[in-house]
A and B are shown apart, each in its own frame.
Chain A
Amino acid sequence: MAEPRSAVQLLTPEGRLNTDGAAAEYLPYIDALDDDQLRQFYRDMVVVRRFDVEAANLQRQGEMGLWVPSMGQEAAQVGSAYATRAQDHIFPAYREHAIAMIRGVDLIDIIRMLRGLTHGGWDPKQRGNFHLYTLVIGSHALHATGFAMGIALDGDPTGDPDKDEATIVYFGDGATSQGDVSEAFVFAASYRTPQVFFLQNNHWAISVPVSVQSRTPLYQRSEGFGIPSVQIDGNDVLASFAVTKRNLDEARGGTGPRLIEALTYRMGAHTSSDDPTKYRSDAEVASWAERDPISRYETWLRSLGATDNFFENVKTEAEDFAADIRRRTLELPTPDPALMFDHVYSEPHPVTEEQKAWLADYEQSYGGDA
């Protein structure tokens, strides 16, 4: 087994820029960002965290069936999302709220799904090629790979990174145990797909620690499939941005697939139905709180000259965002039952049509609210 390499980290948990070792080769990607872009990373991490808190509150108040928190994983998500290009296709699991927002999904559509109003929520073509959430663990890794095979079949890369396409698929440490994920590695390596596998290792799959899923660092597993892989500090938004940018651009240029393992932590429960006190210690959670993605980034931005004023404004923006989500959640209409028969097929189908008509008659006979 190869010696483990240390994870790429550009920003230390104390908020200092790392300039040595592996970090150095990625710094040019950060140097190329202007102040507004750097501040946007912060803004998005804070807004999504506030959104996450609001959604969890709505769930507790009975306004949502379920909530899936992203708390703690903002840096992995925001950094990698900004590394994608407009033409890229994003295949999320179900916790990627920050990426959804950055790609143009209205987060109320995620609320609609978890409130029990839809199984989908948006049209990826209208929403930055951000595909639907997939709740069946690991399945979508194959879809991202197939999509990338299609990109390759459509023609060789032009060499222009603003034109050449790639896919990026997000999945968790638990998902790596699914056959579908290993099969995606096989297909991707075989067909040299323009693709990045973005593995958020948040250390837990519900109650099961990553040590049950793998005895080797996960990035080494994908290397065994022939996919060049790199591990990063997933709570470092700069590393997430720079490493994803480089790997996505290389993959779109025709080098074949890449994998990034982002070491992060699920600070909250798995979902609102979960009770993490049953399986993990407060001390472990506290140790990760010290590596929080947002606070280290705030420290660094302050060292670059950001003032209280900026941070206050972001806070207000996040509050407004959350208030707006709350208001719109409470206004969401319950769908017409007829909806369940629509789009089961793309062309008329006698069974669904008959049943749709039957249900309409039946509801009518009960005064519309059977």
Chain B
Amino acid sequence: MSDIVTGQDQVRTAHPEQTPEAPATAELPMAKALNAGLRKALADDPKVLLMGEDIGPLGGVFRITEGLQAEFGPKRVIDTPLAESGIIGTAIGLAMRGYRPVVEIQFDGFIFPGFDQITTQLAKLTNRHEGTQAFPVVIRVPYGGHIGAVEHHQESPEAYFAHTPGLRLVSPSTPNDAYWMIQEAIRSNDPVMFFEPKSRYWPKGTVDFRASVAPLHSSRVVRTGTDVTVLGHGAMVSVLLQAAEIAEAEGASLEVVDLRSLSPIDYRPILESVQKTGRLVIASEAPGFASIPSEIAATVAEKAFYSLEAPVLRVTGFDAPFPPAKLETQYLPDADRVLEAVDRALAY
């Protein structure tokens, strides 16, 4: 394995116990794929617990846990008091007791009352125990914009957590990845922050129940191209694919990489792509200052300097608070803004 690969390789997990009559694939929106993945995890391991605000009879405000309390009971699917620090702090205790808590944070902007428990406790406890105790807590965070919601409901806070050693961060962009990655995250013995692009909850995609397409902490080329590599995660991937369509009509060939894992970052596919195209544009909804695109830009400059034909460019949310809903389309990078950067990269 090359030294640039920091992504932890995990064996693909097929499910031989899948009953023969169960369909091998289904067309599902990500919300339902997550629901199916959580159901499978609850069924597979009696130590898996779901906890969060309104996840019981309501099924969560996005209905990701719909029907799960009815199926597994209120001891496995727990409607908690309204306190994020309480939820995460008690999830840590439950993990010490041998459970695998999967916590739902209602919206991105409401994770911060739990920030202390995540960053100063959860992230560090494996290290403080010198590896004698694992903390398999998954924190699910619906995040990102495009839903026209009020303040604190459209943010992308992943960089705060990526900056914290001890946490793993992933974000699926498709229903299939969501189905597999949530189960892999739950099986991880480390704390995993699971960022769900809420604007992608409802478009459907094919879920293959037989095997995942890639390990949890891997990035992946989702469209091949030759001129410019464009990279992003979560909802941004569909924007990049749209940009690639437009670019193709205009004669430019974009290679699209889905980051999938934000910490660790799997650099091999990224560097291979950049070695081919010589140009990289990284997009994300979050503000660009001290961001995941900044981290990747620095690493690519270090590791692929001689392959680059142009500076690595970032297309991000602005360094301003996420604006009122009526301005979100100007704030969030869209295909046009990605293509504007692509043009600049090609101009070198």
Report A's interface with B, CB cutoff 8 A. Answer: 65-66, 113-119, 135-138, 174-175, 177-180, 205-208, 212-213, 273-275, 278-279, 334-335, 337, 339-341, 344, 351-352, 355, 359, 362-363, 366, 370
Contacts and interface: CB of A to CB of B under 8 A. Distances in A.
Nearest to A180: B113
Contact of A339 (B61, B83, B327, B340): B327
A64 B96 CA distance: 45
B81 A116 contact: no
A341 B318 contact: yes
Interface in B54-95: 54, 56-59, 61, 79-83, 85-86
Contact of A335 (B61, B82, B327): B327
Contact of A178 (B113, B323, B324): B113
A207 B149 contact: no
A334 B323 CA distance: 12
Interface in B325-341: 325-328, 330-331, 336-337, 340
B109 A136 contact: yes
B321 to A, nearest CB: 7
A172 B255 CA distance: 50
Interface in B114-154: 148-152
Given A113-B150, A207-B56, A207-B57, A177 B320 contact: no
Contacts of B61: 206, 273-274
B151 A207 contact: no
Given A119-B324, A136-B113, A208-B56, 9 more contacts: A116-B324, A117-B324, A119-B323, A135-B150, A205-B53, A208-B81, A208-B82, A339-B327, A366-B336
B126 to A, nearest CB: 25
B57 A278 contact: yes
A285 to B, nearest CB: 15
Contacts of B113: 136, 138, 178-180
Nearest to A342: B320
A109 to B, nearest CB: 13
Contacts of B325: 65, 115-116
A66 B289 CA distance: 30
B212 to A, nearest CB: 32
A210 B69 CA distance: 19
A49 B13 CA distance: 56
Interface in B152-166: 152
Interface of B: 53-54, 56-59, 61, 79-83, 85-86, 109-110, 112-113, 148-152, 289, 318-321, 323-328, 330-331, 336-337, 340
Closest CB pairs A-B (n = 8): A116-B325, A207-B58, A177-B81, A340-B323, A174-B82, A337-B330, A177-B83, A116-B326
Nearest to B112: A136
Contacts, number: 120
Contacts of B328: 116
B326 A279 contact: no
Contacts of A341: 318, 320
B330 A119 contact: no
B321 A119 contact: yes
A229 B249 CA distance: 69
Contacts of B336: 366, 370
A370 B112 CA distance: 33
B202 to A, nearest CB: 14
Given A116-B150, A135-B150, A208 B330 contact: no
B83 A178 contact: yes
B319 A355 contact: yes
B150 A66 contact: yes
Contact of B318 (A66, A114, A117, A355): A355
B335 to A, nearest CB: 11
Contacts of A275: 58
A119 B54 CA distance: 25
B321 A344 contact: yes
Most chain A CB neighbours (cut-off 10 Å) among B59, B110, B149, B324: B324
Contacts of A118: 324
Contacts of A278: 57-59
A335 to B, nearest CB: 6
5 contacts: A135-B152, A179-B85, A205-B82, A206-B53, A359-B330
Contacts of B86: 177, 179
